[in-house]
A = this chain, B = another copy of it.
Amino acid sequence: MASGAPVRPLRADARRNRERLLAVAEEVFAAKGTGASTEEIARQAGVGIGTVFRHFPTKEALLAAVFLGRFERLGEQARALSTAAEPGPAFFEFFTLVVDQAPAKNAFADAMEQAGVDVQGVTSGIAGELTAALEELLGRAQAVGAVRADLGVAELKALLVGASRAVEFAGDREACARTLAVFVDGMRPTGG
């Protein structure tokens, strides 16, 4: 199960390059979509193409690494908010938070769909943690009656993706706010 190779720590310059590449890739993919070329990323990171492929054997691997990082951070945020005193506001804060980071999140959905990659597979470990954190956050909010009871984590994920798309499409800030309000109100319990 656990991989056999002991993986000695990377040389300092290699580690720097790897981190820089991840940061730049996240930015570029968010800005230009997942169709952005690896050459573009290499150039912006100030390294050669060879270096990109040394660290990430395929473009898909690079994408996966970027999304894994994003998932990790989302999971942390969700966990942090899931211990908040008021589960209701915490839940909606998280929702808004994710949607505000929409561009990168959409790049994620795009990539996974287009590449035909198995989302559950590639990101299984981290995604599992994220799912658990979402479950906690959602469950608590439902327990205090802040969120309708007929929603599960699957629906929540779908709504996160949909909301990200929607606000990206809405344009100006006020339209975004009104659009987001529909999601928020729609997730509240029906009929009081």
Contact = CB atoms under 8 A, between A and B. Distances in A.
Interface stretch (A59-67, A125-133, A160-168): A160-168
Contact of A155 (B161, B170, B184, B190): B170
Given A161-B166, A162-B163, A155 B175 contact: yes
Interface string A136-171: 000000000000101110110111011111110111
A45 interface: no
A186 B114 CA distance: 30
Interface string A167-192: 10111000100110111111100100
Interface residues of A, number: 36
B171 A154 contact: yes
Contact of A161 (B35, B150, B152, B169): B169
Contacts of A86: none
A125 to B, nearest CB: 21
A169 B157 contact: yes
Contacts of A186: 181-187
B159 A166 contact: yes
A22 B41 CA distance: 36
Contacts of A35: 114
A110 interface: yes
Contacts of A170: 154-155, 158
A19 interface: no
Q: Shortest 4 CB-CB distances between A and B: which pairs? A: A186-B186, A162-B166, A182-B186, A158-B170
